[in-house]
Amino acid sequence: MTENDINQLIERQMHEWPFAAQQYEALQQTQCRELMVDGSVYRIQYNPARAVSSGAKVDKATLAKRPCFLCDANRPSQQEGVAFGADYKVLINPFPICPKHLTLPTVTHTPQSIGQRFGDLLDATKALPSYVLFYNGPYSGASAPDHAHFQAVAKGSLPLEQQWDSIERRPLQQIQGASLSYMNRALCPVLRIDATNKEAAEQLFATLLHTLEIKDEEIEPRLNLLLWWNNGAWVVWVFPRNSHRPECYFEEDELYRRMISPGCIDMAGLIVAARQADYEQLTEEELAQILREVSLDAAHFFQLIIQLKKNHD
């Protein structure tokens, strides 16, 4: 798979799949506004088509009953896939958040997990240098936690791409070909791996994955990953998460309910509001509270940093 194959796929699908073409057309008309939170600009996008995902029930019983939309057998006949290696396909996402929005599901129906697939995610990132790749963990925004997949959007789509690149980071671990650092932000702490060597990136990520806490009966730590390839090196942002959805998502009083269901795109500064009231009424204070609740809290993040430093010394 080359990036050219993908650009041609997008072009073909816009001609051959009217539903998807209509969704991408509608995306151009979406309203956006900005909020300043924790020193960063967050863009709020009113995107009613995303109600399917923002409102998705992801409990085991619901998943078992619904036909999986990432399995070949259940996908719309017009949705074409391009092979990425033997194990993945590249599809266009028919409910886009950004002008070029891809989904990369595994060929087989198997649970979302990153431990054995981080190397594949690095490969996909290198193969698509004009894109930002991302991974939503099974408890952190994936709307199909039962079917492994990555996603990608065109570079330049997410507000924090540029903003965060310039923020100072503190070093944690350094090995030949890769380094691990962190940014100490008040609301959503974040770690970063910079790597020129794939094995070195995998080694640092494995260390991080094993240091992060796993909640009862879950298969991996709660997290989102955001990656890009730039000048011969990978950049990997890791957002450790506390919860998938904030309390206000479940609020019974309609006045205070905010159906914001953050995945990686939201953590990277593009907040998707599927309901008009949420889009219009969301305040800076509410957004700060949402980001604080869904991110790993400061005390646990501090413990993580200490642990990672200790492992290295």
Q: At 234, is the secondary structure helix, strand, or coil?
A: strand
- The residue among 15, 74, 63, 35 whose CA lies nearest residue 273 is 35
The 10 Å Cβ neighbour count of residue 118 is 19
- The residue among 222, 251, 224, 258 whose CA lies nearest residue 238 is 224
Judged by beta carbon, residue 71 or residue 219, the one nearer Zn ion is 71
Window of 43-51, 60-68, 260-268, 293-301 that interacts with Zn ion by CB under 5 A: 60-68
Judged by beta carbon, residue 96 or residue 105, the one nearer Zn ion is 105
With CB under 5 A, what is the number of residues at the site for Zn ion?
Answer: 5
Judged by beta carbon, residue 68 or residue 183, the one nearer Zn ion is 68
**Residues 245-284 contacting Zn ion, CB under 5 A:** none
Window of 102-110, 115-123, 221-229, 244-252 that interacts with Zn ion by CB under 5 A: 102-110
Residues in contact with 300: Cβ distance below 8 Å, sequence separation at least 6, in sequence order: 213, 240, 242
CA 117 to chain CA centroid, nearest Å: 15
Binding status of residue 107 toward Zn ion by CB under 5 A = no
3-class secondary structure for 195-233? ECCHHHHHHHHHHHHHHCCCCCCCCCCCEEEEEEEECCE
Chosen residue from 70, 172, 193, 226 binding Zn ion by CB under 5 A = 70
Binding status of residue 68 toward Zn ion by CB under 5 A = yes
Window of 67-75, 86-94, 230-238, 249-257 that interacts with Zn ion by CB under 5 A: 67-75
Cα 187 to Cα 190: distance, rounded to the nearest angstrom: 10
Residue number of the CB atom closest to Zn ion: 68
The answer to whether 6 and 104 are in contact (CB under 8 A) is: no
**Residues 131-170 contacting Zn ion, CB under 5 A:** 147
Nearest approach, Cβ of residue 171 and Zn ion (Å): 40
Binding status of residue 287 toward Zn ion by CB under 5 A = no
Binding status of residue 312 toward Zn ion by CB under 5 A = no
Binding status of residue 50 toward Zn ion by CB under 5 A = no
Binding status of residue 71 toward Zn ion by CB under 5 A = yes
* Sign of the alpha-carbon dihedral angle for 271, 295, 147, 126: positive
Binding status of residue 109 toward Zn ion by CB under 5 A = yes
Judged by beta carbon, residue 109 or residue 169, the one nearer Zn ion is 109
Beta bridge partners of 103: 91, 151
Cα 77 to Cα 143: distance, rounded to the nearest angstrom: 21
Nearest approach, Cβ of residue 254 and Zn ion (Å): 34
Q: At 16, is the secondary structure helix, strand, or coil?
A: helix
Binding site residues, Zn ion, CB under 5 A: 68, 70-71, 109, 147
